Structures are given as C-alpha cells and as structure tokens.
Amino acid sequence: MVENDDEKQRAAAKCDRYGEIGVVQILPDGSLQPLGQSSVCDCDSATLHVLETDSDLSES
C-alpha cells in the first residue's frame, strides 16, 4: 500500500462498527496507526476502513 518505506502516508479511516472517523498513518506493513489520538473509536473491536489517502488527493 505504501510505495516507499521512508514515505509516510496518511489517510482518513472509519470505524466499521460505529462510523467514527479519524486520521491514520499507513505503516509499511499496511497496518493503520491513529494520528493525534490513541484510537479512532472507543469500541473494543475497532476495525478501520480507509476512506481516502493523501495520495488520492494529489492525483485529482
């Protein structure tokens, strides 16, 4: 998902269970790390779905 290991990619992500939205960093292994907070959602099983990445914005 990330083209260069040194490149930091950010994305908007949404909790599939409750719909909370937050900004995450996409790590080289494809995992998501919330930025500016400990989690995107307070639910026990926050499964996140990437909505849009910063590279999506630069393509338009």
Tell me the percentage of the chain whose pLDDT exceeds 90.
48
pLDDT of 56 over the 70 cut: no
* Chain length of the chain: 60
Which alpha helices (H) appear in the chain, and where do they start and end? 54-59
Residue 59 lies in a domain: no
Count how many domains the chain has: 1
Q: What is the pLDDT averaged over residues 30-51? A: 87
The pLDDT assigned to 2 comes to 44
Give the span between the Cα atoms of 27 and 9, in whole angstroms. Answer: 8
Residue 1 lies in a domain: no
Count CB atoms within 10 A of the CB of residue 11: 21
Q: What is the pLDDT averaged over residues 39-46? A: 82
Label residue 30 left, alpha or beta by phi (over 0 means left) and psi (-120 to 50 means alpha): left
Q: In which domain, by residue range, is 48 found?
A: 9-54
